[in-house]
Amino acid sequence: MYSGMSQESNRGEKMRNTYKIYLIGVGGQGTVKASTIVGEAAMKKGLNVVMSEVHGMAQRGGTVVTELKFGEVHSPLIEEGAADLLIAFEPTEALRSLNKINRESLVIVNSAPIVPFTVSLGISEYPELSLVFEELKAKIKNLVVIDAQKVAKEAGNIISENMVLLGAAVATPNFPVDKELIIQSMKENLPPQSVEVNLRAFERGFEEVEN
């Protein structure tokens, strides 16, 4: 759905028929895994769901985007300004995706920065973190900031930050899939030995938003 147009004119029926989640992170953060878990859970619920993911050269330390669309949809790409939910696994990546959201979108941002090597080399710049958060607050109405790295560490493993963010997303009001189905899907998609720690991370993320 083209935001700013059909959402304005048709607020109601059409909007409720679709839900769109835009996930952005850096290669290695587990955005694809988190998205697949949501997609499979949605399928179990009986929703139509399509997803776009990134493989290949683009994954090596670069920005990684996955897109999920639910409902009456065909293509896996989200229109400008049309994401209902943006999950940014890194603060500057949230700023990079502002064109995907509108005033009503909900945005979850991991506050833990990942500074690329280009910054140490002096060929690119990472803005002052406080400015990044000021900018996020200024530009986004419905903003949730979580230190997913810290929460994941407390839950038992720092690499579970994707599950912290997933938990946070599932706790948001309009999330299209039930928590139980997500948990079931996690168990089916994660290595058995890491399910427990990931579930802990997921619950912690869930609580962050619910409280």
Partner 1 sequence: MKVGEILTGKEGGKLFLLGNEAAVRGALEGGVSVVSTYPGTPSSEIGNVFYKIAQKAGVYFEFSSNEKVALEVSVAAAAAGLRSFVFMKHVGLNVAADSFVSTVYTGVCGGMIVLSADDPSMYSSQNEQDNRIMARLAGIPMLEPSNPQEVKDLMKYGFDLSEQFQIPILMRTTTRISHMRGIVKLGPVIRGKKKGFFEKNPSQFIVIPAYVVKMRKELIKKLIKIEQIANISPLNTTIDQGGSKLGIITGGGAFNYVMDVVTANDWKVKILKVTLSYPFPEKLVLNFIKSVDSILLAEEVEPVMEKEILAIIGKHNLNKRVYGKLDGTLPRIYEYNPDILFNGMAKVLNKVLPKKEWVFTKLPLPTRPAVLCPGCPHRATYFALKSAIKKLKLKEEEIIYSTDIGCYALGLEPPYKMGDYCISMGSSIGIGCGFSKATNQKVISFIGDSTFFHAGIPGLINAIHNKDKILLVVMDNRITGMTGGQPNPGVPVDGMGNPAPEVSIEEIARGVGAGLVKTIDPFNLKETEKVFKEALQFEGVEVIITKQPCAMITDAENRRKGISVKYIINQEECTKCMICVKNFTCPAIYVAKDGSININPLLCDGCGVCTQVCPKKAIEVKK
Give me the residues that bind partner 1 (CB under 8 A), please: 1-6, 8, 14, 26, 36, 39-40, 43, 48-63, 72-81, 92, 95-96, 98-103, 115-121, 123-127, 131-132, 135, 139, 158-159, 188-189
Helix axis angle for 31-45 and 179-189, nearest 10°, is 120
**Residue (165 or 209) nearer to partner 1, CB:** 165
Helix axis angle for 195-210 and 179-189, nearest 10°, is 150
Give the CA count within 13 Å in the CB-facing half-sphere of 108.
30
Report, in Å, the least distance between residue 60 CB and partner 1: 4
Identify which of 82, 80, 50 has the alpha carbon closest to the alpha carbon of residue 66.
Answer: 50
Report, in Å, the least distance between residue 53 CB and partner 1: 5
Report, in Å, the least distance between residue 210 CB and partner 1: 27
**Residue (65 or 146) nearer to partner 1, CB:** 65
Q: Which two tokens stand for residue 60?
A: 């090596």
Beta bridge partners of 101: 83
Give the CA count within 13 Å in the CB-facing half-sphere of 182.
23
DSSP 8-state secondary structure symbol assigned to residue 11 = T
**Residue (50 or 144) nearer to partner 1, CB:** 50
Report, in Å, the least distance between residue 122 CB and partner 1: 8
Q: How far apart are CA 126 and CA 129, in angstroms?
A: 8
**Residue (57 or 173) nearer to partner 1, CB:** 57
**Residue (70 or 175) nearer to partner 1, CB:** 70
Report, in Å, the least distance between residue 174 CB and partner 1: 18
